[in-house]
Amino acid sequence: MINATKKWIFLKISGVILIPLMLWFIINFIKIYDQDYLTVVNFFSIPLSKFLFSIFIINAYFFSSLSISEVFEDYIKNDKIKNVANRLLYVSAVVIPLITIILISRL
């Protein structure tokens, strides 16, 4: 299978997975928006919330890194700069969710 086809399929699958997770997050964010600190901590202390939020963060960064890499492919002509930009993008797409999940798991 061609690399571009794999990216396209992963983009579509992650987008479909992202829809219910985004709805779950928006609904819960509305519930805890004006609440005090303890309510927010209690929300993120529930194992199901930790799990769903972790999947949401991983999937959101995966989706955004695939989308942004396509922009790099289309608009950056220099291959060296394009490769560096893509590598930095992929490293940040792994490191940022990992840090977020570690910090949430400590609650």
Averaged pLDDT, 67-79: 92
When divided into structural domains, the chain yields a total of 1
d(CA 12, CA 14): 6
CA distances from 30 to 23, 24, 33, 45 (A): 11, 10, 5, 17
In this prediction, residue 55 carries a pLDDT of 95
d(CA 83, CA 90): 11
pLDDT tier at 104 (50, 70, 90 boundaries)?
confident
Using one digit for the tens of pLDDT, what is the confidence trace for 28-59? 999 999 999 999 999 989 999 999 999 999 99
Interacting residues of 15 by C-beta distance below 8 A, sequence separation 6+ = 63
Helix spans in the chain (H): 3-32, 37-45, 47-75, 79-105
Q: What does the mean pLDDT of the chain come to?
A: 92
In this prediction, residue 105 carries a pLDDT of 85
What CATH number should be reported for the domain holding residue 64? 1.20.1300.10
**Domain interval for residue 38:** 3-105
Global pTM reads: 0.83
